[in-house]
Structure 1
Amino acid sequence: MEIDAIKKKVLEDVDPETRRKKKKEMRIQRLIVTLQFLGIAAVVILIFYILMGISTVDGNSMYPTLHDKDIVIYNRRCKEYKAGDIVAIARPSGEDYVKRVVAVAGDTVNIQDGKVYVNGEEVRYDGEIGTTEKKSSKITYPLRVGDKEVFVLGDNREVSRDSREIGTVKVSDIEGKIEWYMGRP
């Protein structure tokens, strides 16, 4: 340490005025750091409130793509969905579903011999397991997907509660498109 630095340190320790100035500078520095932290927290909260959302997968309907209790982050700004997208859906019952879009407005869906056909062509997705059977007598096939609606299925077809039971889903009920997911430890 240089002699001037030593003198300054000693002066700070014994001079009350210098000590007061130092304490004031420390309080100001703590206030600045606190305000920066609160600002960053506010921005993160706004991003998740306006742009992104978080949901949890409940059950094994999307297995093996997603597992029970996986945390998913979805994009709230996405309003146009295509076949293959995985979406978070808010159901009127208050439940949230995470499912895969299989057909969009104007498509015709048919379920036959354990397979799904959209516009006459069989569709399959990576991760899809089990056979796809009709689940409700209230839904008749071939089914035409209405305007501003989608037809969704879980990847684990034999245990999924999806459009085969609840019918098509309104696009307005979709919370967003899944952009990222994280498995629980």
Structure 2
Amino acid sequence: MSVRILALVGSLRAGSHNRQLAEAAVKHAPEGVEIELYEGLADVPFYNEDIDTEAALPATAARLREAAGQADGFLLFSPEYNGTIPAVLKNAIDWLSRPYGAGSFTGKPVAVVGTAFGQFGGVWAQDETRKAVGIAGATVLEDAKLSIPGSVVRFAETHPADDAEVVTGLTAVIEQLTANTGTAAA
């Protein structure tokens, strides 16, 4: 049985370095680990309890919840927008935190990584993401971290999947996440 990890990227930009980092995770996932890079976060409406009902649930939110429900764990990629978590990632966390006490994150391991232009690699946003997803019921892996500074320069000509130091750090996070899923990788 393989481990299923759902990757959520907090940047919608086509050339996003965090998206490239997620692509590197997919490419370098260990044998027995399937990482699905979720597509469609831009289409999920802002969370609103009025539409979070059986009769009104948007199809895009239902699709996100279905993908999350099939995951054994989550790998979140957060850039830093004005010192904090991007709205699209926070919105995904909000949708997946419901219904209260039984959301898709409940009891599942989550690791948060990312890259940003600044000298700290987006650590503030990643810390805020860990806080939000922990409140949403996830088992946050506080020691599974990877913050890569200087993304604009570092990845100007090199994809993260081709950066040996990044691949080593990302692989270590994925292995920690996998070990905490409770599902044995084949």
Q: Aligning the two structures, in what range does the TM-score lie when normalised by the shorter sequence?
A: under 0.3
Q: Which has the larger radius of gyration?
A: 1
Task: Point out which structure has higher relative CO (alpha carbons under 8 A, 6+ apart).
Answer: 2
TM-score (norm 2): 0.21
Decide which structure has greater strand share: 1
